[in-house]
Structure 1
Amino acid sequence: MLKRWRKSGDEDYTNIPSIPVGENCLAIYPFKDNSTALYPYEAWAYSDIRVVDAWYIRCNSINLSYTFPEKMIRRFAQNVSFSMTLTNPFQIVSSDFDSRDPEVAKGSQPLTRNFSFSLNVSF
């Protein structure tokens, strides 16, 4: 909010409205028939200035598993395998999202990353 309008002429370098005080808090009537009243922040919220480029790519899961060949383990086991899973490892997001997660409400809480490892041995 540091770049908001503070005085006349600020509209040349910012698109963030001023903090409404006094007469700036009054409703405006943007349509010719004066039937619809909008308050300053309401008008700003409905404007196209808040529209962003919304593309993103998310990797939900990476799984890796391996089963050892029988000839490597026949002396001590019948079967040995391991697997690793990583959930929500990364996402690539449009710069308009400013490091927020597009799939989470208000983009402020990132989805958690989880890592799991398993080892299965059969004798």
Structure 2
Amino acid sequence: MDKSKRGFVWRFDPQLGQVLNKIINQAINNRNNVLIDNIDYSNYLSGNIQLAGKPINTFYSYKFKGLSPVDGSPIFYGLENESSVAYQQRYLNMDRQDVYLEIMSESGRREPFIQGGLSNYFGYRNFGLSFNLSYSLGNKIRLMKIASGYATTSAYPQQNLRKEFVDRWRRPGDEAYTNIPGLQVSNNVINAWWQNYPASSLQLGGSAYEMYDNSDVRLVSGDYLKLQSASFRYTFSEAVIRKLKLSSASVSLTGTNLFTLSNKMLKGQDPTQSGSTPNINLSVRPTYSASINVSF
């Protein structure tokens, strides 16, 4: 049949994958041992902790309260300096895992709840248009580190820093308008109270700047919709093919990784990146190609 006489054609092929899991019991033997020995705060931050009733890869974040009006350093609920004595006495008498659940909040799951794709083809006469969409829903990711991770645990003015620091805390009162911490002006950083003995035995966290990068203020949705590829094709009519003494001929224009719709706070960060490092890996860049196909 001559394609130039063909009517409208639409082919639609959806794909859907869903991940459902929940830990029924964290015990792995009769002694009620958990799946990971020597649990510390990093297990909660990374989602490596298995808790009964929670999906695998559920992770936690420190609860950001604001910035200090004195020096712009981050403050967290359950770790405020003015209540450090009371917190220390209370936490030393609690189970360590209960303390982590006190100072952190559940952030969500690292793996998507639903993933899939949508393949479409539209054809009319000699023209054809196809495109493939992929989507991911239900997970959370951290924004790239901005306050730590540059071979140090704090942010100093002599470092190469992320552009977010343009909007940082600079003077008392700025804490009402920004959540970007101020820079350290001295190399003699005083340890936070939870880094000094005896509170340090609880292993509540690192520096305030490390905890800021792992707090809920640096948390966004990992949902995205991506146009993975699109192709436009024109097939020459049989009359033209006979005139050129060919069996078939067509031209096409193809693009891949054309765009991604995701949370606006990502600002160029690929939604498939976890945010566990200060480095931005460029997302897969768009590519375009044109082709001419002939057969004799």
- SS of 2:257's partner is strand
Code of the residue aligned with 2:220 in structure 1: it is V
AA paired with 2:184?
Answer: P
TM alignment of 1:10-89, pairs within 5 A: 10-22=174-186, 25-30=189-194, 34=199, 35=201, 36=203, 38-76=206-244, 77-89=246-258
- Is the contact made by 1:5 and 1:16 (CA closer than 8 Å) also made in structure 2? yes
Q: Is residue 113 from structure 1 mapped to residue 282 from structure 2 by the alignment?
A: no
Q: Are the structure 2 counterparts of residues 112 and 3 from structure 1 closer, same or farther at C-alpha, using a change threshold of 3 Å?
A: closer
Give a deviation string over 1:85-115, Cα, whole Å, max 9, x none.
1111222222111244334684452422221
Q: Is contact 1:53-1:96 (8 Å) kept?
A: no
Aligned pairs, number: 122
State how far apart, in whole Å, the 1-side matches of 2:294 and 2:187 are.
75
Q: Tell me, what secondary structure is at the counterpart of 1:74?
A: helix
In 2, distance between residues paired with 1:69 and 1:114? 29
Kept after mapping to 1: 8 A contact 2:233/2:253 = yes
Distance change in 2, residues 1:38/1:68 (3 Å): same
List alignment gaps of at least 5 residues for structure 2.
1-164
Q: Is the 8 A contact 1:24 1:40 kept in 2?
A: no
For 1:28-78, what per-residue CA distance to the aligned partner results, in whole angstroms no more than 9, with x for missing partners? 2359x7133531211212211111233221111112223323233212222
Q: Which moved more, 1:79-88 or 1:68-77?
A: 68-77
Q: What's the offset of the Cα at 1:24?
A: 7.9
TM-score normalized by structure 1?
Answer: 0.75
Distance 1:99 1:20 in 2: 27
Q: Which of these residues, 255, 258, 262, is aligned with residue 93 of structure 1?
A: 262
105-114 or 77-86, which deviates more: 105-114
Question: Percent sequence identity over matched residues?
Answer: 34
Once superposed, what is the RMSD of the aligned Cα atoms?
2.9
| Offset at residue 22 of structure 1 (A) | 4.5
**Are the equivalent residues in 2 in contact too, given 1:58–1:92 (CA < 8 A)?**
yes
Question: Using the alignment, how far apart are the partners of 1:79 and 1:23 within structure 2?
Answer: 72
Return closer, same or farther for 1:51/1:68 CA change in 2, 3 Å cut-off.
same
Q: Give the Cα separation in 2 of the matches to 1:6 and 1:14.
A: 10
Residue 7 of structure 1: aligned partner: 171
What SS does the aligned partner of 1:14 have?
A: coil
What TM-score do you get using the length of structure 2 for normalisation?
0.36
Cα distance in 2 for partners of 1:115, 1:79 equals 24
SS class of match (2:193): coil
For structure 1, list consecutive stretches of 5 or more residues without a partner in the other structure: none
